Structure 1
Amino acid sequence: MKLTIKRFAAALTAGLAWLGAFAAPALAETDFAAVEADPALWRIAAPGGDVYLFGTVHILPPQLEWRTDAVEAALASSERIYFEVDALSEQAQAETMALIPQLGLNAPGVTLTSMISQEAQANLAQMAERLGAPPSALASTLDPLQPWLAGLTLAVMQIQAAGYDPEAGVEHRLKDFGQQAGLSFGYFETIEQQLRFFADLPLEAQITDFEIGLAQALDDPDMLDRMVLAWAAGDTDTLDAIMNDAMREASSNLYDVLIVQRNHDWIPLIENIIERGEQAFIAVGAGHVTGPEGVVGLLQARGHEVVRVNP
């Protein structure tokens, strides 16, 4: 699959959550067409009509069918779909590519490989071999990029090499459905906000995150498949462990910026949806929904009735 500028922009804006955990191509192919998916769906009781909360995976194997009867019923009762960000429009992709030179490129004469350790350089060469690319070519591709963007670029390369596709991701499919059904859309964040979550991290933290993520990808090449299988099974405990435990252990700073702070920022936005009596379907990254600082728990702590539709 060719990584064109348009496809990269779509993957970049739809897949920021993957940066915290790189995913190398799996050693053994998973038959996702045979998976009977039943991903977790929650209902938030509200006087004006129920609001649904669905944890998404931004990039998926095209053959995985995840639109269950419960999801279909929730969508059918909704008038509006909320996403983290408008990641898929032409305008969003153009904005992403316009912001990259400001937020994602190194200063002249500074390269990624000059910043990372010798061990990380060796790991990068090993990853290039897994991807079927000359190590020098991969290094040349990543060298102009700041570590946060280099990590995300490498993650997109690996995900696509594993047969995953941004256009098969939950957000893409929901956006297509909503447009065909005449639903309206809402967003919790802007493209610039999402990019700055990473770009504003201290450089040393970016380097550490890049090196740890690269090492984890080499050590656990089946992680992405296991993550998607846990999501498809509705196994939220395993999903949180795979997605968030590694991030919590590798970088509490990144976890706080990428998950905790954003979850807390979204609660008043969700409460506004409830207070307005909207019949809405909220689709945000699965790593945000459960766990100790997840959206479900935060809403319940504020007195909202949030129940699992498919326990």
Structure 2
Amino acid sequence: MNRTACRTLNRRRLHRAMAVALLVLAGAAPVFGQNAPPPGATAPAPSQVTNLEGVTVSGIQPGPGLWKVSKGDHVMWVLGTLSPLPEHMQWKTDEVEQTIADSQEVLGPPSVALKPKTNFFGKLFLLPSLIGARKNPDGQRLQQVVPAAEYARWQVLKQQYIGSDRSVEDWRPIFAAVELYDKAIKRSGLSSSGGVKDTVRELAKKHGVKVSTARYTMMIDEPRAAVKTFKASPMDDLECFGRTLDTVEHDLGRITARANAWATGDLEALRGLPMNDQREACIAAVTEAGFAKQLGFSDIQQKAQAIWLGAAEQALNTNTQTFAMLPMEEVLSAKGLIAQLKAKGYQVEAPDGSE
């Protein structure tokens, strides 16, 4: 294995094992359960699972339009991103490309990164300790760590979306949930990324516009010790596991409707569909664990958002025009980052002209 391959493998395993829930604020991690069943409701038996899966749109689609944030003659055009999106959609980027070409800066969404504080050889020696980081401590299998009723549901859904692969049975519940969700959305004709962020970066490169990142970087001083602690530590991820089962059983149709609304630019539908996917349980499974607190995984979402907010204000003060990306939830929410800019005195206008 060459040096580049080793570095890539190290980064992928470390990030996947230790930051699967943390990266959700950048849209890079899976979106979990829309809504749990209402109190008192009875979940269908495993043999009676019903999920009204929708049909994804395809072909050339316009996307949701751009939000305008301005102060005086300085403007920031904001694209609300979403995950997942229709896999076979072709995003019509004429308006976006022209806006990027006329801008002095492209600002990416809030993100979180883990950075081992070690040199290349340190990373190379870290690789053996990363093997099996997804697995349950003490060699336990999934059946031993989740309630019997949940495991019965899991078996039905696993057979439907994952198949006969038995390796996932050794994984922690949160990683098993991620694998199931990824397979389910793919089967539904959806893509976790939709290629939107990559397209924006390519357009910025094409027109020579600088791309800025709003990234909160967490330094890990002793990566080997951190991974060892992670592998040996329990996580309270049963709620995350159960809510993901709920999503795959009951909510793929609603997720598809939301993806279609983004693709077709149906702002009314986007406003009417839940954007908060109750990811708190899955994020908390990582951030509230003992190892996470030792590494300083506290208030990371707020820290990343604060970095983005500062970068956005600087861009609005410096540039005549800026193009930015934000998760759609941050665009539409009354407490989101766009609302926070409005509270600071910036003018905000939605694509349909509403404020």
| Contact 2:84–2:190 (8 Å) recurs in 1 | yes
Whether 1:203 and 2:235 are equivalent positions in the alignment is yes
Q: Structure 1 residues 48, 106: closer, same or farther in 2, change over 3 A?
A: farther
Q: Secondary structure at the match of 2:333?
A: coil
Unaligned 5+ residue runs, structure 2?
Answer: 1-8, 36-49, 113-119, 220-229, 286-297
Which residue matches 1:30?
56
Q: Secondary structure at the match of 1:185?
A: strand
**For structure 1, which segment, 172-181 or 162-171, has the greater mean C-alpha deviation from structure 2 after superposition?**
162-171
Residue 18 of structure 1, aligned match among 23, 30, 35: 30
Whether 1:151 and 2:177 are equivalent positions in the alignment is yes
Which residue matches 1:226?
257
Which residue matches 2:161?
131
| Contact 2:86–2:194 (8 Å) recurs in 1 | yes
Deviation track 1:42-76 (CA, whole Å, cap 9, x = no partner) reads 11214573211111124433432333544233222
| Contact 1:38–1:234 (8 Å) recurs in 2 | yes
| Contact 1:57–1:169 (8 Å) recurs in 2 | no
Q: Find the aligned partners of 1:246 and 1:85 in 2 and give their Cα distance.
A: 18
* 1:217-256 alignment runs, 5 A limit: 217-236=248-267, 238-239=269-270, 242-247=273-278
Whether 1:75 and 2:100 are equivalent positions in the alignment is yes
Q: Secondary structure at the match of 2:68?
A: strand
| Contact 1:41–1:53 (8 Å) recurs in 2 | yes
Q: Structure 1 residues 66, 132: closer, same or farther in 2, change over 3 A?
A: same
Q: Find the aligned partners of 2:69 and 2:133 in 1 and give their Cα distance.
A: 37
Specify the code of the residue in structure 1 equivalent to 2:252. Answer: P
Q: Structure 1 residues 169, 243: closer, same or farther in 2, change over 3 A?
A: farther
Q: Secondary structure at the match of 2:89?
A: coil
Q: Secondary structure at the match of 1:82?
A: strand
Specify the code of the residue in structure 2 equivalent to 1:189. Answer: R
Q: Find the aligned partners of 1:159 and 1:257 in 2 and give their Cα distance.
A: 29
Q: Find the aligned partners of 2:199 and 2:283 in 1 and give their Cα distance.
A: 32
Deviation track 1:160-208 (CA, whole Å, cap 9, x = no partner) reads 2333345632112212222333222211125769xxxxx9xx932x321
Which residue matches 1:90?
none
| Contact 1:79–1:279 (8 Å) recurs in 2 | yes
Aligned residue pairs total 288
Whether 1:308 and 2:350 are equivalent positions in the alignment is yes
Q: Secondary structure at the match of 1:284?
A: strand
Q: Find the aligned partners of 1:227 and 1:257 in 2 and give their Cα distance.
A: 28
Specify the code of the residue in structure 2 equivalent to 1:117. Answer: P
Whether 1:114 and 2:144 are equivalent positions in the alignment is yes
Residue 183 of structure 1, aligned match among 199, 209, 226: 209
Residue 63 of structure 1, aligned match among 88, 94, 109: 88
Identity rate, percent: 19
Residue 168 of structure 2, aligned match among 130, 141, 157: 141
Q: Find the aligned partners of 1:83 and 1:274 in 2 and give their Cα distance.
A: 14
Q: Secondary structure at the match of 2:90?
A: coil
Deviation track 1:111-155 (CA, whole Å, cap 9, x = no partner) reads 444322222212211212321613xx25x32533x4443333332
Q: Secondary structure at the match of 1:133?
A: coil
Q: Structure 1 residues 307, 123: closer, same or farther in 2, change over 3 A?
A: same
Q: Which has the higher helix share?
A: 1
Q: Find the aligned partners of 1:141 and 1:252 in 2 and give their Cα distance.
A: 20
| Contact 1:58–1:171 (8 Å) recurs in 2 | no
Q: Which has the higher strand share?
A: 2
Specify the code of the residue in structure 1 equivalent to 2:248. Answer: A
Q: Secondary structure at the match of 2:56?
A: coil
Which residue matches 1:196?
none
Q: Find the aligned partners of 2:274 and 2:307 in 1 and give their Cα distance.
A: 20
Unaligned 5+ residue runs, structure 1?
Answer: 88-93, 194-198
Which residue matches 2:195?
169
Deviation track 1:25-56 (CA, whole Å, cap 9, x = no partner) reads 9735333227x434041112145732111111
Deviation track 1:263-306 (CA, whole Å, cap 9, x = no partner) reads 45532231122223363211122222211221221111111112
Q: Find the aligned partners of 2:111 and 2:86 in 1 and give their Cα distance.
A: 22
Specify the code of the residue in structure 2 equivalent to 1:282. Answer: A
Q: Find the aligned partners of 2:349 and 2:160 in 1 and give their Cα distance.
A: 43
Deviation at 1:86, TM superposition (A): 7.6
| Contact 2:65–2:79 (8 Å) recurs in 1 | yes
Q: Find the aligned partners of 2:134 and 2:109 in 1 and give their Cα distance.
A: 21
Whether 1:45 and 2:78 are equivalent positions in the alignment is no
